[in-house]
Amino acid sequence: MIDLHCHILPNIDDGSQSLSQSLTMARCAVKDGIHSIVATPHTLNGVYTNPAEEVATHVANLQEVFSKNNIQLQLYPGAEVQLCPNMLERINSGEAGTINNSGKYLLLELPSQTIPKGIKDEIFTLKLNGITPIVTHPERNSIIQHDPDILYELVNRGALVQITAMSLTGEFGEFVKQAVEMMLKQRVVHVIASDAHSHDNRPPVLSHAVEIAAKILGSSEEAKYMVNDTPAAILSGDIVEIPEPVHYNSKHRFFTKFF
């Protein structure tokens, strides 16, 4: 499996807090059957700045430590980039990195309580310039939780979607679990990733979530695709094949539409 979203680099954000913890996380990932991890530190979120060049250096350093410790885990550079104005310029200047620095896919973090009005334009601009945004853990956004159609619209505009493994396994609570189940049924989920921040509280483990996703989707193959084929294509900068999203007509919509 490939973990496309993981805060495994030590001491550069709120993820791993030491080299020793990064090694424990790596061993935990390998034990779960993960062979590759994209290191995605927070970037441009008002707290952390992790420019692409620096992330690449951190990745190379940690990879070397893995080799010395006989850990068979391939690391790739990336970033979890908070939605902000002028994203394209910031990517082009190296302030924010794309996945594997291919310039093709970007992990895009939304605020947890709002959907910024500018999201439509930012997605349009990125797509126009060959960059596909991958919206991270929308199931943890309180607006999207109440209106699944927002995600449907984002996917129709060309975004991909990544959910967090622990949302499926229930650690974020029943409400988040229900939201993520709905998203899977709507076929608006493309990647399952750990978004791991440590070896204990939120570890780099995917297998349990994949089993649960397989039951919800009624297809083990479809669930495995989200941790194998799709992230592999993203890493290579190739086109990702996605299912047709299903429109969800909520009778109890709490919020007005944003588009």
**Residues 153-192 contacting Fe ion, CB under 5 A:** none
- State the nearest-atom distance from the C-beta of 257 to Fe ion, in Å: 27
Q: Which two tokens stand for residue 71?
A: 């850990």
- State the nearest-atom distance from the C-beta of 109 to Fe ion, in Å: 7
Asked if residue 139 binds Fe ion (CB under 5 A), the reply is no
- Write down the residue that tokens 């620096």 correspond to: 54
Select 181 or 195, whichever has its Cβ closest to Fe ion. Answer: 195
- State the nearest-atom distance from the C-beta of 41 to Fe ion, in Å: 8
* 3-class DSSP assignment, residue 100: helix
- State the nearest-atom distance from the C-beta of 221 to Fe ion, in Å: 27
Select 23 or 110, whichever has its Cβ closest to Fe ion. Answer: 110
Find the part of the chain contacting Fe ion (CB under 5 A) among 21-29, 80-88, 148-156, 211-219: 80-88
- State the nearest-atom distance from the C-beta of 50 to Fe ion, in Å: 12
Find the part of the chain contacting Fe ion (CB under 5 A) among 27-35, 77-85, 89-97, 175-183: 77-85
- State the nearest-atom distance from the C-beta of 5 to Fe ion, in Å: 6
**Residues 231-250 contacting Fe ion, CB under 5 A:** none
Asked if residue 195 binds Fe ion (CB under 5 A), the reply is yes
Asked if residue 3 binds Fe ion (CB under 5 A), the reply is no
- Write down the residue that tokens 């391939």 correspond to: 74
**In angstroms, rounded to a whole number, what is the distance separating the alpha carbons of residues 194 and 253?**
29
Residues in CB range of 111: below 8 A, 6 or more apart: 82, 83, 141
Find the part of the chain contacting Fe ion (CB under 5 A) among 31-39, 88-96, 153-161, 195-203: 195-203
Q: Which two tokens stand for residue 251?
A: 């009778």
List Cα–Cα distances, 160 to 46, 129, 250, in angstroms: 24, 16, 22
**In angstroms, rounded to a whole number, what is the distance separating the alpha carbons of residues 98 and 102?**
6
- State the nearest-atom distance from the C-beta of 77 to Fe ion, in Å: 15
Residues in CB range of 246: below 8 A, 6 or more apart: 152, 185, 186, 187, 188
- Give residue 81's region: left, alpha or beta (phi > 0; psi -120 to 50): beta
Asked if residue 80 binds Fe ion (CB under 5 A), the reply is yes
Select 29 or 217, whichever has its Cβ closest to Fe ion. Answer: 29
Per-residue contact track with Fe ion, 30 to 69, x per CB under 5 A? ----------------------------------------
- Write down the residue that tokens 């080799």 correspond to: 67
Is 254 buried (19+), middle (13-18) or exposed (0-12) by CB count in 10 A? exposed
- Where do contacts with Fe ion occur on this chain (CB under 5 A)? 80, 195
